[in-house]
Structure 1
Amino acid sequence: MKGIGIRIGAALFACALSMPGGAQQARHASKPRLDLNASATIDRHGVLWALYTEGRHLLLRRTADFGRTWSAPQPVNQRPEDIAADGDSRPKIAVAPNGDVYVSWTQPLSKPYTGHIRFARSTDGGKRFSEPITVNTDREEITHRFDSLTVNGKGQIFVAWVDKRDRVAAEKAGKDGYRGAAVYYAVSDDRGTSFRGDYKVADHSCECCRIGLLPQEDGSVLAMWRHIFAPNIRDHALTRLTADGEPGKVRRVTFDDWRVEACPHHGPSLAGVKDGPLHAVWFTQGDKRNGVYYGRLGDGVVEGLRQVGGDTAAHADVAAAGKRVAVAWKEFDGKRTQLRAMISEDEGRTWREHTLAETDGPSGQPSVLTHEDRFYVFWHTRQQPLSVHAVP
């Protein structure tokens, strides 16, 4: 996902421009497919699972020693299919409390910027995966893309995505002015055998930024996404997704006033623990501030607001363990991309920074993972594939 370079020009990977007759289309900059946007998670036993693409297949590997040795690649989809594997649209992985392994991805369709949300599961510890299913019940050849995946403590699976069915319906009805897309989600109660939904969360989301998901103790899931507030302010919104398909009230949680006719392919990340603050990182080029930022989300206010890295910082991720918080991001100095991290021992009030790695080749987005109150950063690069870095 987050490989944004120098200021606003490099931020606008995809532009949504007004077209004659009120119609809009997303314009995306051409960029080579690097297949470096892998995802990772750590299960309750400390095993790290990494998911990445190779051609038209998803491959899964695991390590019990934080990247020193890896298992052989295990294919997720036996039948080849198109898989979105760039930027905020990379495949996702989650491991349930019972050890089931769940994978979601976007399957591109024949028309530009269209897709279906796909899902596969393994109930035997990642040895074999089920035949993939399509999660979204709406099967029109439109945008169902940018999936996010999580599992709550009860084992229920939540998949959220960006969806343009309401925009298409508005255009067919001759109604101009529908902003962006919408956020939808679905829930599985049977370990991924089936999903129920599609449940609408909100109209007017950004068209191409990832959705941050955070499971809660009560079984609900917090969702944070880049929203298009009237008339065209691309700040962030937050709500609570419930298993019964009744999402909570949508509230604005960042206040940068970024007014732009574009989607930056640069979604937020969300973290928190029981009875602790809600930590977030996000990217903005707003009237009030520019760059990647960290903050603790409150009611109408962002506490502890802090810029992350310098002007070229991009694609930050955040995780929390007790009062400890870690943020990782990429930063380009004109020649090399550094993997940077900062860590707080006091819920984000004070920080210390570290450089974990660097590369002069292509790289994917970093992920911050936790195990036994320690932080690890997973980073998939051309020079160092599937690398794992402990945060000091």
Structure 2
Amino acid sequence: MTGMRPGFRLIVAGLLACTALAGTAQTHGNHSGHGGQAKAAKMSELGTGAAFDRDGKLWIAYKDGPYVAVRSSTDFGRSFGPGQHVNSAPEAVAADHDSRPKVATGRDGEIFITWTQPRPKPWTGFIRFARSTDGGKSFAEPLTVHANRDEITHRFDAIAVDRSGRIFVSWIDKRDVIAAEARKQPYAGAAIYYAVSADHGKSFQGDYKIADQSCECCRIAMSPTPDGNMLALWRHVFPPNARDHALAQLGADGTATPLQRATFDDWRIDACPHQGPGASVAPDGTLHMVWFNLREGKPTVSVGRWKDGKLQAQRPLDDPRAQHADIVALDNNEIAVAWKSFDGQQTRLSAMLSHDGGKTWQTRQVARTERDSDQPHVLQHAGRAYVLWRTEAEGFQVFPLGKEGA
């Protein structure tokens, strides 16, 4: 939160769901900081999304008061052009860490932006989408992605574009919770839904359910696969209440494969850590992922790979204070992971790199700050990894990773 340094804190049993963030002194209650919603603590609003377009221009999206703004860089983040508003009419915008504006880019130079619009009722929201088909010169009027317009939770959006140019948007949804309550039946967590656009974002088809019983406040990770599908990874609530992760392949026709359990730490707690997973599918089809859990009684961020239907080579990051990690798999068998951690005085940005598909790793320190900061976001362009880190004091920073990286 603004004015407080983010520090490392164990999440303990008995916390109410979605009111604590394990691994940080910032309280990221998903119900706070939004207009008309519960006021727990002032929320940091540094949440920023980023993506490279086909020509190597870097686009970032962030909150600017009642607007989503974008800026671009043609020199890999060393400098950015002026900000431009995406929505012409002001509206509420969520920009707190796992719930932040997102960017994806299309094959023909399109820029796609999503964000969560908090609604007046507590803990509710709509998933909003805007697109530019002229290289970011202008944006069409935003639309709401989902057909369901009940004032309920539609939040924590994720966006990705498949190899055919179709746009997938997923989100956490509580319509099934409401229905279960009306039937006086129990329902753990929330659900994961998605929608698909096959016309470059002009319209969406969907409200396709991926799974019931997801965690309520952790971001969803999506990654296109080499065979043209889309993979989703999310924190799930496995019976009786294990907060592990699940994955599924999403079809453009609304058919998702049955979920598979992807992590097996068996963390049992009736709370949400506000730390969603990161996922990136390599050219050989291997899913590389990074995630936070309580493992053997200790808060741990792990990296691992999923192949042939099972989790392989799970190991902790080289930092016991790691939090909010992200990951990318490159074409040259290189994997890059970045995270932040608080050492009692400063927040540090660190990275681990593998040049052999995740078999061995090297760790390096990248940057540090004494003020508040967003989560790091790992990006790729032309076979190289970069990490975007927005801090309160230093602003938007981009660091190259890899053999020649900083």
State the TM-score bracket (shorter-chain normalisation): over 0.9
Structure 1, unmatched stretches of 5+, are: 18-24
Residue 299 of structure 1, CA deviation: 5.0
1:319-334 alignment runs, 5 A limit: 319-322=328-331, 323-334=333-344
Q: C-alpha displacement at 1:285, in angstroms? A: 1.2
Separation in 2, partners of 1:12, 1:272: 34
Query: Is structure 2 residue 164 aligned with structure 1 residue 154?
Result: yes
Within 1, Cα distance between the matches of 2:368 and 2:325? 15
2:144 partner letter: T
1:249 to 258, 262, 266: 258
1:205 lines up with 2:214 in the alignment: yes
From the superposition, tell whether residues 12 and 274 of structure 1 become closer, same or farther in structure 2 (CA, over 3 Å).
Answer: farther
**1: CA distance, partners of 2:107 / 2:132:** 13
The 1:101–1:26 alpha-carbon spacing in structure 2 relative to 1, beyond 3 Å, is closer
For structure 2, the residue ranges without an aligned partner over 5 or more in a row are 21-28, 33-38
Verify the 8 A CA contact 2:303 2:314 in the aligned structure 1. Answer: yes
Q: Which residue of 1 aligns with 2:60?
A: 50
Distance change (3 Å), C-alpha of 1:313 and 1:261:
same
Aligned to 2:270: 261
Query: Which residue does 2:82 correspond to in 1?
Result: 72
Q: Is the 2:13–2:269 contact (alpha carbons within 8 Å) kept by the matching residues of 1?
A: no
- Distance between the aligned counterparts of 1:16 and 1:238, measured in 2? 25
Are 2:338 and 1:335 equivalent residues in the alignment? no
SS at match of 2:386: strand
**Alpha carbons of 1:27 and 1:105: their partners in 2 closer, same or farther (altered >3 Å)?**
closer
Q: CA deviation at 1:298?
A: 3.5
Distance 2:78 2:183 in 1: 57
User: Does the 8 Å CA contact 2:224/2:281 hold for their aligned counterparts?
Assistant: no
In the other structure, the counterpart of 1:344 is 354
Within 5 Å, give how 1:71-220 maps onto structure 2: 71-175=81-185, 177-220=186-229
What is the aligned partner in structure 1 of residue 9 from structure 2? 6
- Give RMSD over aligned pairs: 2.2
**Structure 1 residues 273-282 or 50-59, which shifts more?**
273-282
Identity of aligned residues (%): 49
Give the whole-Å Cα distance in 2 for the aligned partners of 1:230 and 1:13. Answer: 18
After TM superposition, the structure 1 stretch with the greater mean CA deviation from structure 2, 87-96 or 298-307, is 298-307
Q: Counterparts of 1:223-234 in structure 2 under 5 Å?
A: 223-234=232-243
Per-residue deviation, 1:304: 1.8
Q: Which residue identity is paired with 2:70?
A: L
Counterpart residue type for residue 8 of structure 2: G
Deviation at 1:35, TM superposition (A): 1.9
Contact 1:259 1:286 in 2 (8 A): no
SS at match of 1:310: coil
- 2:24 maps to none
For 2:98, what is the secondary structure of its paired residue?
A: helix
Q: What amino acid sits opposite 1:189 in the alignment?
A: A
CA distance in 2, matches of 1:98, 1:27: 38
Measured against aligned partners, the alpha-carbon deviations of 1:105-164 in whole angstroms (never above 9, x if no partner) come to: 110001111011100000000111111101111111110000000111111110000000
TM-score by length of 1: 0.93
Residue of structure 2 equivalent to 1:20: none
8 Å CA contact retained: 2:226, 2:285? no
Give the TM-score taking structure 2 as reference length. 0.90
Match of 1:33 in 2: 43
Is residue 2:290 matched to residue 1:281? yes
- The 8 Å contact of residues 300 and 320 in structure 2, kept in 1 or not, is answered as yes
Measure, in 2, the Cα distance between the counterparts of 1:192 and 1:296.
32
Aligned length in residues: 383
> In the alignment, which of 65, 71, 74 is matched to residue 61 of structure 1?
71
Q: Equivalent residue of 1:89, what SS?
A: coil
